[in-house]
Amino acid sequence: MKITAVGEAFPEHYHSQAEITARLEELWSHDPSVAKRIASLHENVLVKGRHLTMPLESYGELRTFGETNDAWIQGAVELGERAVTQALETAGLAPEDVDAIFFSTVTGVASPSIDARLANRLRFRPDLKRIPMFGLGCVAGAAAVSRAADFVRGDPNGVALVLTIELCSLTLQLGDRSVANLISTGLFGDGATAAVVVGDAVAAPAGSPEIVATRSVFYPDTEEVMGWTISETGFRIVLSPQVPAIAREFLPGDVDAFLGDHGLTKDDIGTWVCHPGGPKVLEALQDGLGLDRSAVELSWDALERCGNLSSASVLMILRETLARRPAEGSHGVMLAMGPGFCSELLLLQW
């Protein structure tokens, strides 16, 4: 089982954090208590710019969940097509070569799902197996690759496509004055990523990492740590300050146990592909795993450049990792955490 390619796509609108903050200060100008706090909260997340689905001046114009979700569907289809096309072309494959697609999102809803709409646009085979995945949030990029690996493990000739699309800016809740929401308006961005996972009998380009093993970990009684409250106004963020503590306390033991089952330790890992949840989460991950900042520099760079793209981020970081061509035979770990609360771990070998 190998990951042969990763593609990415972003909306055309890109703005600096200062520009986005200024627009939100305008939208909240009727509430000085919010407008006064938002700049410092945005500065603390260390994001310098983000891609946005709509023009910046359009935020605040959508009045209903239906209008917002329609914008999400349109943007998701466009970005999804571009990300998938790039991934397949990089892998040297065509849409008709794909046997299954694992599609993940947590920022919009559609039925038929986005993967079905792309099947019509890209002309996948009629016997394509579609697996829409909703609700996993930030962990879903890693989890979808794990589920794709499960699929090709059962079919060595199989080709699985992973697609993650997150348009976080469309979850803007102007009626929510909570600190969690104000932080989220400075942290999350928009984008899509796609990855190609193939079975052992399918030829893979040089430099394609093997998926040696995967592991899912669920932490009981942590439903309130991260997620959404969904109502007639749309998606309202649930984001607990417990997230960094969980990353620091639980993830190191999970990683040690996972690697130990394969005769490895953290010292044997040359590459870390980590979802950039935010500055405090990345710092907690570094501390817990005993890593230098350089080990997760790509995660810091992605956070600064694009913000947290939820499920799409870890695959964007994987794409940058592939471009750097880790040493042949070396091991890597891809990991993410998300609603549930849970984590997903993948052991890779180049």
- Specify the pairing of strand 269-274 against strand 331-338: parallel
Cβ burial, residue 203 (10 Å; 0-12/13-18/19+): exposed
Backbone dihedral region of 268: left (phi > 0), alpha (psi from -120 to 50 degrees) or beta? alpha
Quick one: which H or E segment has residue 18?
Answer: helix 17-27
- To the query of whether residue 138 is one of the catalytic residues in this protein, the response is yes
d(CA 346, CA 197): 13
Rounded Cα gap, residues 84 and 86, in angstroms: 5
Q: Within 10 Å of residue 305's Cβ, how many Cβ atoms? A: 15
Closest of 200, 166, 213, 182 to residue 52, by C-alpha: 166
For tokens 């305008």, name the residue.
Answer: 26
Cis peptide before 341 (omega within 30 of 0): yes
- E-strand ranges in the chain read 2-9, 13-16, 49-52, 100-105, 129-134, 159-167, 190-198, 210-218, 226-231, 234-239, 269-274, 331-338, 342-349
Q: How many CB atoms lie within 10 A of CB 180?
A: 14
DSSP result, 207-237 = TPPEEEEEEEEE-TT-TTSEEEEEETTEEEE
Q: What is the dihedral of CA 107, 109, 115, 118, to 10 degrees?
A: -90
- Residues carrying an active site annotation: 138
